[in-house]
A and B are shown apart, each in its own frame.
Chain A
């Protein structure tokens, strides 16, 4: 168990480090490219500079709030909280809970996979797990602040409702077609065979 946790932690750390390097690589390639283009084409460059500056100002204004909310959520809404409430309740309640619980925490999608595995083992409905992962991926509370700021209330609200509607319907159809008899995780199936 400990070994497994360590391996997972190492894997996560490594992939994180790789990502940071990619970020910096791209940034350090972009800076000279940007400067060169602005110098060579002063006309278009002026627009590029102006736009970059406007976006920079907007980001400076909004990002502290985004990250503070992210921090508060991660401290006050722990993983245990999510696991406790998810997979409970059926019908409409289960659907709504899955969607809301998925959209609260921050973090990349791969953090949610082990959670989803635990919930599937606990016997949660497959459709609800798909809803949970979908909400986790594309409706994030802190990220929604960015959406308000950059795309407006109307777009954000409509996208939220459209996503809820579509994901709920599609995941239900998906479950009826592919997971009629429930779903056993790869590891579990082997265990069943042993017994």
Chain B
């Protein structure tokens, strides 16, 4: 077990303990929410594990490095952001997927752009967003998310080399 895992587990343990001390029933309710969330996401989690295995096992790393690799530049970022905008998967399983991309030689900029559009641009939610917040707002926000994905990717690319 690496340090990160231990820190996270200890932190969670402390918070849980505090919660129990403060209010037992609320803590029980929290665990109930946790369990429900787990059950709801379980198929996605198992699916992403298989997908990651298949990607690393069967897709030649050369391809990924070529399309969204360090030297793919603007085109790589564009492809990764489009991919992220079209795909629709829960945030929690997006990070393991992102790491498998990095392990395969994807560039850090493309990976960051992928995560950002994956989570911020929601074509699936667009009708609902228009209904709740109006067309102008929804279109403006989604457009902004696209721009943001590219800008965030550039900032990250400049800082992390």
A-side residues, CB < 8 A to B, are 16, 20, 23-24, 26-27, 30-31, 33-34, 37, 41, 44-49, 51-52, 55-56, 58-59, 61-72, 74-76, 106, 108-110, 113-114, 116-117, 120, 126, 130, 133-134, 137-138, 140, 142-143, 145-155, 158-159, 162-163, 165-167, 170-171, 174, 178-179, 183, 185-186
In the bound complex, residues from chain B placing their C-beta under 8 Å from that of A74 are 30, 33
Q: How far is the CB of A7 from chain B (nearest CB, A)?
A: 12
The answer to whether A30 touches B19 (Cβ under 8 A) is no
The answer to whether A68 touches B31 (Cβ under 8 A) is yes
Interface size class of B (residues with CB under 8 A): 35 or more
With A62-B8, A67-B35 known as contacts, the answer to whether A45 contacts B57 (CB < 8 A) is yes
The answer to whether B119 touches A47 (Cβ under 8 A) is no
The answer to whether A162 touches B155 (Cβ under 8 A) is yes
Interface CB pairs A-B, < 8 A, 7: A27-B50, A51-B56, A52-B52, A62-B5, A72-B27, A137-B145, A151-B102
The answer to whether A165 touches B19 (Cβ under 8 A) is no
The answer to whether A163 touches B148 (Cβ under 8 A) is yes
The answer to whether B148 touches A55 (Cβ under 8 A) is no
* Interface mask (B116-136 → A, CB under 8 Å = 1, otherwise 0): 100110100100110011111
In the complex, what distance in Å separates the CA atom of A76 from the CA atom of B121? 28
- Which residue on chain A has the smallest CB distance to residue B151? A166
